[in-house]
Each structure stands twice: as C-alpha cells, then as structure tokens.
Amino acid sequence: MADIVNLRRARKARDRATAEAQAAHNRIEFGRTKAERKLTEAEKALQAARLEGHRLDAAKDDKDKA
C-alpha cells in the first residue's frame, strides 16, 4: 500500500527548497559586504590614478619639438 502524502506539506517543502536555492545563488552573486565593495572601488581608483600619472602628454611633446 502507498504512503499517504500531504500535498500542502509537499508543496511547501518544494517552495522552501526553491527559495533556498535562489538564496544560495544570490549569496554568491551579491554576497559582498559594503567594506569589500568600498575596498575594491578604492583599489580601482588608485590604479586609475597611477595609470594617469604615467601617461605621456602628447601636446607637451609637440611644443618641445617645434
């Protein structure tokens, strides 16, 4: 004889499993703290400033040659 299944409980268990899977996905995708985001932003700004500091100014070179 088959086991009796409460459909309401089965549906809620399925919904909980789906919600947990979505939550796990979101933790992976968006799970960085505010401090980590600010640190990454500061590192990018520092790299951009260093790159800009090493840039050669083409207009200045043209004036020196003339």
Q: What pLDDT does 65 receive?
A: 64
Q: What residue type is 44 in one-letter code?
A: K
Q: What pLDDT does 61 receive?
A: 63
Question: Domain limits of the chain?
Answer: 7-65
pLDDT digits (tens, 9 = 90+) for 8-42: 999 999 999 999 999 999 998 899 899 999 999 99
| 1 confidence band (pLDDT: 50, 70, 90) | confident
Alpha-carbon distance of 35 to 47, in angstroms, equals 18
| 59 confidence band (pLDDT: 50, 70, 90) | low
CA-based end-to-end distance of the chain: 99
Element of type H or E holding 59: helix 58-65
Q: What pLDDT does 2 receive?
A: 85
